[in-house]
Structure 1
C-alpha cells in the first residue's frame, strides 16, 4: 500500500531553490513523538546558512525539508504515549524548538543538573539528539513529527504566524538575556537590534526592566527598531562616536572613569567584526559579552581587554524548554509580537528573495487552512 503523501518545500542540493512537491507523510515511531499539522513556519538565518552548506555540525541529507521555527496543531500521538506526550491533547496548538528531538537522557549534558537550561533529565544540547529542519526534516511541510519534550503551548491570543518565530529567535534572545543574571535597571546593548532576534530582544528587555541601547548600521533595520515603541535608545553605529556615547552614559550614571562607563552586557547578533568591536568596546569593566551569532570567519577578541578589563565572553544557543513556555506566557501578558513578513506556503522562494534584501524582522510562511 502506498504511503500517505503531503506537500513539502524541499531542497535537493546546496545553493538550490525550494521545490514544492509531494513527499511521504511522516509517521509516529517513538512514544515521545507527536504529529503536528503545520499552521506556520519561520525562515531563520540558520536555514539560509544550511542551504549554502555552512552549517557543518548538522549537515542535511538530501532531499531535505528545513525550518525549525514551527507552529501547528497536534493531530496524533503514539498509541502508547510517554509521560511527556500525555501532557498534550489532540487539537492543542503548540510551538516546537529545533532541539532536542529524541535526547538520550543519559549523557553528561542530559544529566548535568547544574546547567541553567537543565530540563528534567534531558538537554537541548544533547549530542545524541536530532535537530528539526537540520539533521531531520522540519517545518516547511504540511506535517512534521516532533518530540513532546520540545513543545510549548500557544496562548489563545497569539497567532501561529507570531508564535512560530518565538520557537527559535524568541527563545534564543530571551535565553541570552536571562543567562547574564542581570537585574532590572542594569544596562544592556543589543548589537543588530533591527534583525529577527534583535527586535524581539528590545521588547523582552523592556519587559525585563533593563535600560537598553539598540545598535544597528542599516536603514531598514534601524527604522524597524525605532518603530517598536520600546524604551530603548536606538543608535546608528555608522554615525556614533564611541567616546561621546560612553561619556554621555557615564554622565547619566554618575561615572567619571571610562572603564566604568557603558553597558553591563552586550549581545552580539551580527556576523561582522566591526559590529562585534562596537559592542565589545561599549561594555564596562567586569561586564559580559554574549555571542549569539556565528560566522565562518569568527571574531577576533582582544586578550588585553579580557585580562585588564575582566570582560567575560560567553556563547549561547536557545534557552531551556521551560523558558520556552515562560516566554509564551510573557508575550501573551505583555502583548509582545514579532514584526513579521508573511508569505503563503507555496511562495517560499519569494520569501527567501525578500529576506536577503535585509529589511529586518522575521519572515514566516503560513499554511492554507
Structure 2
C-alpha cells in the first residue's frame, strides 16, 4: 500500500532477514484480506506508508529469532497479529486473553508493520500458533483473524449450550465461522443478515433460524421472540458495521442479556431503552489470545469445519480481489494463494 484510498501496488522489496529475538520469518503460503485491511486502506488506522497489507497469514517457518524455542524451521504456522508487546503493562501481565490489548507495541502486522501480502513476512512467535495438520493453509490464514475474533466473541457472550445466540452479520467471513463454532458447542443460533448470498451461506453452514434484516427491525425482533419463546436471544454478537446494526443487536437480545460488539463503525449508538430499561449488557471483544486461539484451532479441526473462500492465485491478483471485496460480492473470506507450489502440495496431502 503506497497511498491511502488507492489500489494496492505490487513492488519488489528486500526479504526481511533482520529478526528480533522473538520473531519468526514465515514463507507465506496463503494471505487473507479482512474488513480491517479495508479500514487501513481508507485511513481509519494511523499507518506509516508504504506498508505491506494483510494481517491474516499462514505459511512455513523460514527463520527464527534468537529467543524462539517453540518453533523450528519448516513448521506450519498461523501468524499472530501483535508485534513485540512490552511485557510489563497490566494487559501483558494479566490473563492470556488480555495480552493482545497491550498498546506498547510496534503494532499489528498489516497495520503498524508490514503484513502477509508478500513472499515472506515477519510475525511475533508469542502470538503465532502451530497449524494442526488437519487445517489447510487456506483455512489457517482465514482463521488468523476472523476465526480467533469470532471465537472469542462467543466466549465473551457467555451463552451456554442449549441457549440462543443471535449473530447480526452472520453471513460474512466472521459470521459463517461463528455459526459453526456456536453449533459445535451445542448453542442454538439465530443468524441475521441483509444480503441474499449471506443468508444462503448461513443456511449452508447449518443455521436453522435465518432471518432477513431487510424485513425491518420490528419484524426481526418479533421473529426472534417467537423462536425463543417470547424472550429474545440470551446473547447477541454484532458483526455488522452498519450504523443501525448495534441498535438491532440490542433489540433482539432478551432483558439482562449480553450484546457483544465486534464490528468497528466510526460511531455507535445504543437505545437508552435497551441499555437502561432492559438492562442489556454491552461488551466489546477483539482478538483472542494465544491460548484461546489454540483452543479454537483444535475445535475447528475436531469438528471438520469449513471456511467459505474466494480464492485468487498470485499477489498480482490482490488489487482486483480487493475491488470484488468492496463490491460485496465475496462470499466468505477473500484469500490469496502466494505460494502455489506449496499450496497445491499441501492440498494434495490433505485430500488423499
Would you call these one fold, judging by a TM-score over 0.5?
yes
Match of 2:44 among 43, 47, 54: 54
Q: Which residue of 2 aligns with 1:258?
A: none
SS of 1:117's partner is helix
Match of 1:273 among 238, 243, 247: 243
Q: Which residue of 2 aligns with 1:141?
A: 118
Match of 1:355 among 325, 329, 332: 325
Instruction: Measure how far apart 1:165 and its partner are.
Output: 1.0
Instruction: Measure how far apart 1:310 and its partner are.
Output: 1.2
RMSD (Å) for aligned C-alpha atoms: 1.5
Does residue 88 in structure 1 map to residue 71 in structure 2? yes
**Matched-pair contact (CA < 8 Å) for 2:165–2:233:** yes
CA pair 295-247 structure 1, distance change in 2 beyond 3 A: closer
**Matched-pair contact (CA < 8 Å) for 2:157–2:236:** no
SS of 1:135's partner is coil
Moved more, 196-205 or 239-248: 239-248
Instruction: Measure how far apart 1:305 and its partner are.
Output: 2.0
Q: Deviations over 1:278-301 (max 9, x none)?
A: 2211100110110000112x1211
Q: Distance in 1 between matches of 2:227 and 2:100?
A: 37
Q: Deviations over 1:153-200 (max 9, x none)?
A: 111122111110101000000000011222111110000011111111
**Matched-pair contact (CA < 8 Å) for 1:28–1:145:** no
Q: Which residue of 1 aligns with 2:226?
A: 248
Relative to its length, the structure with more helix (as a share) is 2
Does residue 173 in structure 1 map to residue 150 in structure 2? yes
Q: Distance in 2 between matches of 1:250 and 1:145?
A: 47
CA pair 244-316 structure 1, distance change in 2 beyond 3 A: closer
**Matched-pair contact (CA < 8 Å) for 1:34–1:146:** yes
Q: Distance in 2 between matches of 1:65 and 1:74?
A: 19
Instruction: Measure how far apart 1:106 and its partner are.
Output: 0.4
Q: Which residue of 1 aligns with 2:349?
A: none
Does residue 217 in structure 1 map to residue 194 in structure 2? yes
Q: Which has more radius of gyration?
A: 1
Q: Distance in 2 between matches of 1:39 and 1:250?
A: 44
**Matched-pair contact (CA < 8 Å) for 2:58–2:138:** yes
Q: Distance in 2 between matches of 1:338 and 1:243?
A: 29
**Matched-pair contact (CA < 8 Å) for 1:171–1:324:** yes
Q: Distance in 1 between matches of 2:325 and 2:275?
A: 36
Q: Which residue of 2 aligns with 1:8?
A: none
- Gaps (5+ residues) in structure 2? 342-352
**Matched-pair contact (CA < 8 Å) for 2:81–2:123:** no
Q: Distance in 1 between matches of 2:213 and 2:336?
A: 32
| TM-score normalised per structure 1 | 0.87
Does residue 204 in structure 1 map to residue 181 in structure 2? yes
Match of 2:92 among 97, 110, 115: 110
**Matched-pair contact (CA < 8 Å) for 1:28–1:34:** no
Matches within 5 A, 1:271-350: 271-296=241-266, 298-344=267-313, 345-350=315-320
**Matched-pair contact (CA < 8 Å) for 1:42–1:364:** yes
Matches within 5 A, 1:1-40: 11-40=1-30
Match of 1:126 among 87, 99, 102: 102
Does residue 77 in structure 1 map to residue 64 in structure 2? yes
| TM-score normalised per structure 2 | 0.91
**Matched-pair contact (CA < 8 Å) for 1:286–1:310:** yes
